């Protein structure tokens, strides 16, 4: 199972079960959780420095949008980016590149470029960064990904989730409760102090999900 949190940054975890996978392509190996008398479940971990922070920059820096929610309709309205691509390397690039000297780049701008196309390119840049790490996770783990789950603030953007599904060629499931990272931590904590008899790993946060298919 693969999950991506679309917050200020992006955070991807692939569950590799009881196998610790050593990445050869710039990912981190991590302990996902430990339950049942110390039995560990492992994950591949990928960090993306800039996700929602790029949308915040559109609002607070360039001032081409008033609200983050505006980006969805703007992206849909223009149909495509008109050849504009955006690399939001404001503070370098994290996984899988790990280049602290990289800086943000926008290419393909013409006199005909619109703010809607720039907004769309920004949303697409988030999805492209996820795609970079998705490909590496599949390569390192040797596992087939049949569905990806997405949560966090940006997951409310239907355009972004649909575009993500399209370029990954797998369904993307989005839960009704977007802050599943915090919710999962709360369930684990309750289980750990015996306040809950339910195994939190067995809980499904996606039973009412909105799935986006490629």
H or E element in which residue 134 lies: helix 115-141
User: Is the per-residue pLDDT at 66 higher than 60?
Assistant: yes
Q: For residue 25, what are the contacts with CB-CB under 8 A and spacing of at least 6?
A: 96, 136, 139, 140
User: Is the per-residue pLDDT at 183 higher than 90?
Assistant: no
Mean pLDDT of the chain: 91
Structural tokens at position 9? 């940054």
Instruction: Summarize the confidence of residues 17-42 as an average pLDDT.
Output: 89
Instruction: Summarize the confidence of residues 96-124 as an average pLDDT.
Output: 98
H or E element in which residue 14 lies: strand 10-17
Task: Find the largest Cα–Cα distance for the chain.
Answer: 63
Instruction: Summarize the confidence of residues 129-158 as an average pLDDT.
Output: 96
User: Is the per-residue pLDDT at 116 higher than 70?
Assistant: yes
User: Is the per-residue pLDDT at 161 higher than 90?
Assistant: yes
The pLDDT value given to residue 209:
62
DSSP 8-class letter at 155? G
- DSSP codes of every residue in 74-88: HHHHHSS-TT-EEE-
| CB neighbour burial string for 188-199, b if at least 16 within 10 angstroms, e if fewer | beebeeeeeeee
Q: Are strands 39-48 and 28-35 parallel, antiparallel or unpaired?
A: antiparallel
Q: What domains can be seen in the chain, in order of their start residue?
A: 2-212 (3.30.420.40)
User: Is the per-residue pLDDT at 129 higher than 70?
Assistant: yes
pTM passes above 0.85 = yes
User: Is the per-residue pLDDT at 105 higher than 70?
Assistant: yes
Sheet with 148-151, edge to edge strand ranges: 28-35, 39-48, 10-17, 2-6, 148-151, 172-174, 210-212
């Amino acid at each position: 199972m693969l999950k991506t949190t679309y917050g200020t940054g992006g955070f991807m975890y692939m569950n590799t079960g009881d196998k610790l996978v050593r990445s050869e392509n710039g990912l981190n190996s991590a302990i996902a959780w430990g339950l049942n008398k110390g039995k560990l479940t492992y994950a591949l971990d990928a960090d993306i420095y800039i996700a929602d922070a790029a949308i915040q920059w559109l609002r607070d820096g360039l001032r081409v949008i008033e609200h983050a929610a505006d980006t969805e309709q703007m992206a849909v309205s223009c149909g495509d980016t008109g050849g504009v691509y955006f690399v939001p390397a404001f503070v370098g690039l994290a996984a899988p590149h790990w280049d602290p000297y990289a800086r943000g780049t926008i290419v393909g701008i013409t006199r005909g470029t619109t703010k809607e196309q720039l907004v769309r390119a920004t949303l697409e840049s988030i999805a492209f960064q996820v795609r970079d790490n998705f490909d590496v996770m599949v390569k390192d783990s040797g596992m087939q990904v049949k569905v990806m789950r997405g949560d966090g603030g940006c997951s409310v953007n239907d355009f972004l989730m649909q575009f993500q599904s399209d370029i990954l060629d797998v369904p993307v499931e989005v839960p009704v409760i977007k802050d599943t990272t915090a919710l999962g931590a709360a369930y684990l904590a309750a289980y750990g102090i015996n306040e809950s008899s339910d195994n939190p790993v067995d809980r499904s946060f996606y039973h009412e999900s909105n799935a986006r298919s490629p």
